[in-house]
Amino acid sequence: MAIYVIGACNIDISARSDHRLIERDSNPATVRISVGGVGHNIAQNMTNLTEDIYFVSVFGDDHFGHLAYKTCLAEGLDLTFSKIKGNSKQSMYLAILDETGDMYLAVNDMDIIEGMTKKDLNEIKEVITDKDMLCVDNNLSEEIISYIANDFKGIKFSDAISVAKAFKLNAILDKLDILKVNIYEAEALSGISIKNEEDIMNALSDLLDKGVKKVLLTYRDGVYLAKDGHIYRYLHNATKVHIQNATGAGDALLGAYIAAVDQGKDDEEAIKDGLVASLITIEDERTVSDLDRKMIADSLYRKKIKGELVL
């Protein structure tokens, strides 16, 4: 079984303010440039943890595009089905972080990935089998998301990414085997306002009713897993998490979870792997940490994760 990630690779620019942010003013900060993007981050995390990962993306034919392409190769990503598109610019993501490392504001320029065409995916469509896993990056256009969901083989999973983009998944929820959301994205997809745990149960039940096989909902100190008409809650109970950069934590969670499933672990162990990966990533200044299986297995965070059936 192989895992294919069809999605974005960005040049990420993050600026962490040295002090409390003052709006409409120039704030002293530490600025870092790296290669990121939801698709890239998920693929990189999985490449660090399991085998046979293919990253399928389009790169700009400019300085940043060639830099991103070379960086992906250096990171060990398999770009067999990726390509550099002529006369195009690389996608960019700019995040402003507050003094604690949490996201204050982010903007993105995703024209190149939103312009991915069916022709760009012809080769890979013929390769994917029913046993393979396939990540559908919600940064893709609605047309391509629908095309992949309806015409491609494979076990499909996706991250809603943001409230602004969550709507693109409405038409394919019944085609998704695994969906990751936060509470805001769950609200957008279910139409249910979430103010307490009962609302979370209702929103997750609604997504199952709409056809998603499994839903992972990240919320505060843990993850809710909905599947087969039941809902489980996993809390990490970590008292001291030193946040360096919250960007990328969700990608680490989903990537580690899928890698664990690929290795034959059950959902509980896979959720634990995902939570540990996200906590390690939060404490790293980079959006993708140098994860490995032993690091996740031996983490003290893992020993504190408790799971229970709540519905």
- For residue 160, pLDDT beyond 90: yes
Buried b (16+ CB within 10 A) or exposed e, 142-156: bebbbbbbeebebbb
Q: What is the pLDDT of residue 286?
A: 87
Give the residue among 136, 194, 202 at the shortest CA–CA distance from 165: 136
Q: What is the pLDDT of residue 239?
A: 67
CA 140 to chain centroid, in Å, comes to 13
pLDDT digits (tens, 9 = 90+) for 164-219: 999 999 999 999 999 999 999 999 999 999 999 999 999 999 999 999 999 999 99
Packed helices 38-49 and 249-262: angle between N→C axes, nearest 10 degrees: 40
Beta strands in 220-295 (DSSP E): 222-227, 230-235
Give the residue among 66, 74, 119 at the shortest CA–CA distance from 90: 66
DSSP string of 244-293? S--TTHHHHHHHHHHHHHHTT--HHHHHHHHHHHHHHHHTSSSSS----H
Alpha carbons within 13 angstroms on the beta-carbon side of residue 38 total: 21
CATH 3.40.1190.20 given to domain 1-116: yes
Kindly report the pTM of this predicted structure: 0.93
Going from N- to C-terminal start, the domains of the chain cover: 1-116
